[in-house]
């Protein structure tokens, strides 16, 4: 018969083990609540755009707020990125069959830089749809810095994973070139995280791989462009090189990471690119066929650079452009070949195509300036207006719900 002393020792050990198990359980529940994982562990913004602000050491971007500044415009905006690294709410793989999913793909104009989270093109589209009693869910797959071949690859993955009913590709003026192409590949797998693995273990693996942690609330803030001497800023040499080409105010803003160095020279960098011929017929045909396999319909929208519709902004670009740069007049017909070519190639494949150039040109000619003065992105109301225009165009097409 066990002694009283042995019983007490056994009872203490039992209680200690129970307490430890309870502590581990509470920790696991807390970590799972505070750090909810995305449904897929492969799909992430970094697959298409390696970095934010040039920090290529980050392997996955999640649950952070990224700040874009334009000090000359006296404007700053926060982009709230979800658990996949895109500027949108958190998505679920499974969708409500009663709600139509509409995916938007493109570059920084689709993402909505220099506007609030609720002032993007997809948001304008969704607000117009809901006002018309059309219940939909938009998905913003816009990524700043992407070009056509990159967001074509993003399209393959987004469509296969999230199964949108409609896919709207917004092509900005600088996205197309003679080298634009599509390398068809197998879409990334869903690859769910192992449910049985302790959350702390999974988070440790993410940190080891230099990935941002998925969080229930975005509490971490990062600038898109770091100050000039920050080790994560690969554009430091570029900023210093352009010191004598820009005004003192613009240079000081770039040094602080509060104005994009790429703006030096204004829109003149498009002079050669806009004259390049391209043929995307085969790529567009492959994308159309791919989307149809997943029950999605594909649409294309063309968005011009502001210098293609008006010379109004040149007076602001004097602060960071040479006389030679300012002499380039992109409103001339010779610089509008891309939208014509894309329209013809879409027509060959019976792909719906919308050119936003006439709408934007009309608004600018009336004195309604849709873009910021120094930064070349659009103002929030303009993004919303374009989203509304795209919705009205799309619903006017035959078979829009098919």
Query: Going edge to edge, which strands form the sheet with 220-223?
Result: 75-80, 64-70, 220-223
The model's pTM is 0.92
At 254, is the secondary structure helix, strand, or coil?
helix
Q: Please determine, for residue 402, whether its predicted confidence score (pLDDT) is greater than 50.
A: no
- Proportion of the chain above pLDDT 70, given as a percent: 94
**Does residue 64 surpass a pLDDT of 50?**
yes
Q: What is the pLDDT of residue 207?
A: 94
In the predicted model, is pLDDT for residue 335 greater than 70?
Answer: yes
What's the whole-number average pLDDT of the chain?
A: 90
Per-residue CA distances from 163 to 32, 99, 297 (Å) = 27, 12, 11
Using pLDDT thresholds of 50, 70 and 90, give the confidence band for residue 19: confident
Does residue 234 carry a pLDDT above 70?
no
Please tell me the predicted confidence (pLDDT) of residue 2.
58
Q: What confidence tens digit (pLDDT) does each residue in 244-254 have?
A: 888 999 999 99
3-state secondary structure (DSSP) of residue 327: coil
354 three-class SS: strand
346, burial (CB in 10 Å: exposed 0-12, middle 13-18, buried 19+):
buried
Report which of 397, 402, 386 is spatially closest to residue 126, judged by C-alpha positions. 386
């Amino acid at each position: 018969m066990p002694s009283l002393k042995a019983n007490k020792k056994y009872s203490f050990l039992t209680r200690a083990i129970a307490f430890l198990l309870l502590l581990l359980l509470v920790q696991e529940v807390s970590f799972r609540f505070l750090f909810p994982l995305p449904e897929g562990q492969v799909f992430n913004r970094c697959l298409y755009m390696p970095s934010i602000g040039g920090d290529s050491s980050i392997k996955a971007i999640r649950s952070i707020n990224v700040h874009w500044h334009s000090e000359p415009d006296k404007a700053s905006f926060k982009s709230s990125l979800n658990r996949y690294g895109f500027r949108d709410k958190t998505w679920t793989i499974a969708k409500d069959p009663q709600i139509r999913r509409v995916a938007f793909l493109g570059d920084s104009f689709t993402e909505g830089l220099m506007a609030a989270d609720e002032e993007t093109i997809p948001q304008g589209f969704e607000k117009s749809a809901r006002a018309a009693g059309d219940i939909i869910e938009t998905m913003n797959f816009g990524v700043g810095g992407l070009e056509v071949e990159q967001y074509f690859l993003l399209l393959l993955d987004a469509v296969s994973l999230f199964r949108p009913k409609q896919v709207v590709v917004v092509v900005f003026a600088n996205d197309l070139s003679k080298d634009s192409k599509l390398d068809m590949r197998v879409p990334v797998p869903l690859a769910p995280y192992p449910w049985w693995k302790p959350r702390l273990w999974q988070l440790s693996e993410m940190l080891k791989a230099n990935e941002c942690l998925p969080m229930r609330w975005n509490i971490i803030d990062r600038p898109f462009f770091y100050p000039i001497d920050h080790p994560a800023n690969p554009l430091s040499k570029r900023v210093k090189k352009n010191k004598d080409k820009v005004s003192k105010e613009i240079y000081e803003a770039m040094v602080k990471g509060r104005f994009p160095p790429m703006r030096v020279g204004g829109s003149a960098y498009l002079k050669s690119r806009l004259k390049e011929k391209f043929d995307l017929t085969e790529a567009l045909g492959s994308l159309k066929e791919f989307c149809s396999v997943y029950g999605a319909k594909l649409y294309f929208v063309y968005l011009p650079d502001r210098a293609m519709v008006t010379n109004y902004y040149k007076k602001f670009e004097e602060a960071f452009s040479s006389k030679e740069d300012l002499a380039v007049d992109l409103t001339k017909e010779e610089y509008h070949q891309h939208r014509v070519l894309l329209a013809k190639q879409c027509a060959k494949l019976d792909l719906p195509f919308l050119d936003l150039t006439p709408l934007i040109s009309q608004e600018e000619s009336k004195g309604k300036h849709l873009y910021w003065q120094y930064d070349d992105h659009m103002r929030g109301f303009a993004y919303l207006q374009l989203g509304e225009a795209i919705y009205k165009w799309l619903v006017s097409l035959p078979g829009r719900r098919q």
